[in-house]
Structure 1
Amino acid sequence: MDHSAPLSPPARRTRTVVYGAPAVLGLALGAFVLRRPLMMSAPTCASGRWHGCYDTFNGVVLMMLVSIPLAALVVCALAWWRRRAGTPAAWRRSLAEVGMVHGTVPLVWLTMMPGGGAGVAPRRVSLVPLRDLVTMGVPGIVGNLLIFAALGFFAPLRFPALRSVPRALALGAACSVLVEVAQYVFWLDRVSSVDDVLVNAAGAGLAALASRRWWRTAEKASSRPRPAAATAGR
């Protein structure tokens, strides 16, 4: 049996449903659990006011969820434009690009929100590995895992050079270092911690591992020799 043979369209659709349904259900479950705190920011966000919406955790997460249909429209528009231009893998590229931006930028924005003592409290740096994990708690660890998860998930799909879990880990760590340095430079009353870097990188690596089936399939498809163009009659 040839396991490397391409799947038929019905088999691909079935696999997409099997792997996509848990993600959709997980997103719906998260929205249901967080519905009350998120809806507290709904009136402020609906009125278009910055304060109370884009400078709060609830408001940013709410706008991130509400803008999912808009992100889907952007994916469709990009894929349509690329298919007309003859770009290969138009849907995969478009989904990966929009997914990276939509799933990463709002969470990075949350990490750059200033604390109550921004510009006044002493800058704090923690360079001892694993010391801050205890104080993070489960919500803090989960949040840090998610910050660059979308980047780790979609980047290997878009960029062939990143199609390995170690490279996704390195990408997540590099982006996390930039965030921690920015927190220190801009004096945001946040702790620049090496544990944040470790957990952020782990989240990117785990997400890359979760999408491994898709970027490995894309890698095999790109490396498969294309049939030579017919030259008869020329």
Structure 2
Amino acid sequence: MDHSASLAAPTRRTRRMVIVGLAVLGAALVAFVPGRMVLMMLSMPLRRPTWQVWFGTFNGVALVTVLALPLAALAAWALARRRSAAGATSAWRKSLAEVGIVYGTLPWVWMILLPGDEDGAVVSLVPLRDLLVMDQGQIVGNLLVFAALGFLVPLRFVALASVPRILALAAGCSVLVETAQYVLRLDRVSSVDDVLLNTAGAVLAALVSPRWWRATPETPSDRPRPTPVPGR
């Protein structure tokens, strides 16, 4: 039996899975944010290349995220190679999911925890009140905060491969972030509507990936070998 051929199919499925996930997130951004606006946002930090601008503003964090994409791809490749060399199963699947979760979530959380322009810490616990006054960019941004988490966590952790568990995980993470905004006095609004949108984005992303939630196929070396029959 050709072992390399049997391992190639899961690898191809994993690559298609990642491409689909990136395409969904990219389509969401392109659908709501004009390409010219994106280029303007990314070019602004280049006019004042200081640490404060690059790491302390939305535009700077966005540019750093784009520039870090090759490093994220290299990290996924290195992790997959290391796991493959150690004989681990689903090396590419696990590595791409882990790097994707960090790369697709950390920049959004980073932006959320940047200081705002409110007069002190504000708490809004009335559902849907803030949602009615949010602009399109705020709504889409909130939906994308934990989208990578919702899409990729079920692929990496079988125990979390269900919509209710993803909902609970995303809601818990969102509550922690909103609480941190208040505790750290970041002059931002800690809103229940942000929690609802963050959670909804994770659940919607999770609904895109169920076809890949199934257990990873066993490699030929993991399959039980037939017991030899004496005399044959």
Indicate the TM-score class for this superposition, using the shorter chain for normalisation. 0.7 to 0.9
Letter in 2 for 1:147: V
Task: Provide runs of 4+ in structure 1 moved above 4 Å.
Answer: 27-31
Counterpart-to-counterpart distance in 2, 1:131 and 1:192: 13
Counterpart-to-counterpart distance in 1, 2:41 and 2:180: 29
SS in 2 for 1:221: coil
Q: TM-score, normalised by structure 2?
A: 0.82
SS in 1 for 2:217: helix
Q: TM-score, normalised by structure 1?
A: 0.81
- The two structures, once aligned, show a CA RMSD in angstroms of 2.9
Letter in 1 for 2:77: C
Letter in 1 for 2:135: G
Q: Which has the higher contact order (CA 8 A, sep 6+)?
A: 2
Structure 1 31/81 Cα, relative in aligned 2: closer, same or farther at 3 Å?
Answer: farther
Residues 1-234 of structure 1 aligned to structure 2 (within 5 Å):
9=9, 16=16, 19=20, 22-23=23-24, 26=27, 29=30, 32-33=35-36, 34-45=38-49, 49-116=50-117, 121-216=119-214, 219=215, 221=217, 227-232=223-228
Letter in 2 for 1:63: V
Mapped contact 2:90–2:216 kept (Cα < 8 A): no
**Unpaired segments of 5 or more residues in structure 2?**
1-5
Which shows bigger deviation, 50-59 or 32-41?
A: 32-41
Counterpart-to-counterpart distance in 1, 2:128 and 2:29: 32
Structure 1 191/20 Cα, relative in aligned 2: closer, same or farther at 3 Å?
Answer: closer
Residue matched to 2:3: none
Counterpart-to-counterpart distance in 2, 1:190 and 1:213: 38
SS in 2 for 1:131: coil
Structure 1 187/25 Cα, relative in aligned 2: closer, same or farther at 3 Å?
Answer: closer
Deviation digits for residues 183-233 of structure 1, max 9, x if unmatched? 1101111111111100000011011111222223xx2737xxx63125549
SS in 1 for 2:190: strand
Structure 1 31/233 Cα, relative in aligned 2: closer, same or farther at 3 Å?
Answer: farther
Counterpart-to-counterpart distance in 1, 2:186 and 2:25: 35
Letter in 1 for 2:184: F
Counterpart-to-counterpart distance in 2, 1:86 and 1:193: 46
